[in-house]
Amino acid sequence: MKKTGLVYHQDYLKHNTGQNHPENAQRLLALLDCLKKDFSWNHLKLIKPCNPSIKWIEKIHTKDYISSIEKACKDGLWMLDADTIISPDSYKVAVLAVGGVLSALDEVATKKVKNAFCAIRPPGHHADTEKAMGFCIFNNIAIGARYAQKRHKLKKVLIVDWDAHHGNGIQNIFYDDPTVFYFSVHQFPHYPGTGEDKEEGNGEGEGFTMNMPMCAGSGDLEYIEVFENILYPSAKKFCPDLILISAGFDGHKDDPLSNLNLTSNGFRRLTEVVVKLAEECCEGRVVSVLEGGYNLKALSESVVSHLSAFVEGYEKKE
């Protein structure tokens, strides 16, 4: 039985945003501690992130933008925008976060692991080609999608984004692209203000963006209905060669940055729907990438539930 891959590196802790910033290093420490207590590591294969060639980041971001981030960190700047804090190590860590996703894709594409979860930071789904925002520097998921297409010839990629905040960066990058189906379910209206249901793609990409804006107070029941009755048939029709999950857990009922009511068990059910899709469409190929989630207990328990749905025959401890 193939294991589930887990990407992590201690250098991810070096992206120093300060103790009071929601996206801080304690997030990774808490979820890893919870995994060690409540999950069998025998089911997991630790994947070391590569130090990727910048050419892969340039598939999504401009050279000038990449250079500007490197320079900002070297010069000791501490803000890229009002929300996105950096430190001297942030550029290297952001590159290593991309490397974590690429390494996970290598392991999944070559069938060394069944699927994979990337416990990385900084997150990425708000980052646009030339703009950092919403705690995000490089768009990890978008870079991973292009890498999978170019390196592993996985032509059609489904991105499922269940972060509480709409992944405007991913949407913008692939808005004209029929080879990437972007599906987002998110609180609306909410930061960053995008993700209305009328946003469906443009040109050849029309119909390959699908937004499901959810009202404040929506929880497991509403989300599961969307996944079973809207995502599942739409994705089956698209028939992806790979599924990427933009896995934000800030829709949890205890998270301070949203007004949604998901539970850790709800995230498990969402994962089960995606895993079923992957088994039916693309030989189980799923790579999940951490985005939001800012209540440490809620984040940790949700990740355990998420991974328990990745692992065959695993029963989560109650």
Going from N- to C-terminal start, the domains of the chain cover 4-310
pLDDT computed for residue 30 by the predictor: 97
The tens digit of pLDDT for each residue in 190-234 reads 999 999 999 999 999 999 999 999 999 999 999 999 999 999 999
For residue 139, the cross-strand partners are none
b/e per residue 13-33 (b: at least 16 CB within 10 A): bbbbbeeeebbbbebbebbbe
Would the pTM count as exceeding 0.95?
yes
CA distance 234 to 73: 42
The tens digit of pLDDT for each residue in 54-95 reads 999 999 999 999 999 999 999 999 999 999 999 999 999 999
pLDDT computed for residue 313 by the predictor: 52
CA distance 145 to 94: 17
| Residue with tokens 């987002």, as numbered in its chain | 184
HSE (side-chain half, CA atoms, 13 Å) at 103: 23
The tens digit of pLDDT for each residue in 162-197 reads 999 999 999 999 999 999 999 999 999 999 999 999
Q: Taking the CB of residue 99, how many other CB atoms lie within 10 A of it?
A: 24
The tens digit of pLDDT for each residue in 270-313 reads 999 999 999 999 999 999 999 999 999 999 999 999 999 999 65
Structural fold of domain 4-310: Arginase; Chain A (3.40.800)
pLDDT computed for residue 317 by the predictor: 45
Kindly tell me if the per-residue pLDDT of 1 is higher than 90.
no
- Work out the angle at residue 83's Cα, subtended by the Cα atoms of residues 95 and 265, and round it to the nearest 5 degrees: 80
The tens digit of pLDDT for each residue in 103-141 reads 999 999 999 999 999 999 999 999 999 999 999 999 999
pLDDT computed for residue 112 by the predictor: 97
Give yes or no for a contact between 172 and 199, defined as CB atoms under 8 angstroms apart.
Answer: no
What is the DSSP secondary-structure string of 241-271? SEEEEEE--TTBTT-TT---BB-HHHHHHHH
pLDDT computed for residue 318 by the predictor: 41
CA distances from 83 to 7, 19, 72 (A): 26, 14, 15
From 277, 285, 271, select the one nearest 148 (Cα to Cα). Answer: 285
E strands present in the chain = 4-7, 44-47, 115-118, 157-161, 180-187, 209-214, 242-247, 286-290
Residue 97, token pair as written in the block: 């976060």
Q: How far is C-alpha 306 from the chain's CA centre?
A: 12
pLDDT computed for residue 314 by the predictor: 53
pLDDT computed for residue 40 by the predictor: 75
Checking phi first, is residue 239 left (phi over 0); if not, alpha (psi -120 to 50) or beta? left
Helix residue ranges per DSSP H, 41-200: 54-57, 63-74, 90-109, 140-151, 168-174
> Would you please indicate which residues are annotated as catalytic (active-site) residues?
126
Indicate the average pLDDT of the chain: 96
CA distance 175 to 172: 5
Q: What are phi and psi of 187, to 5 degrees?
A: -70, 135
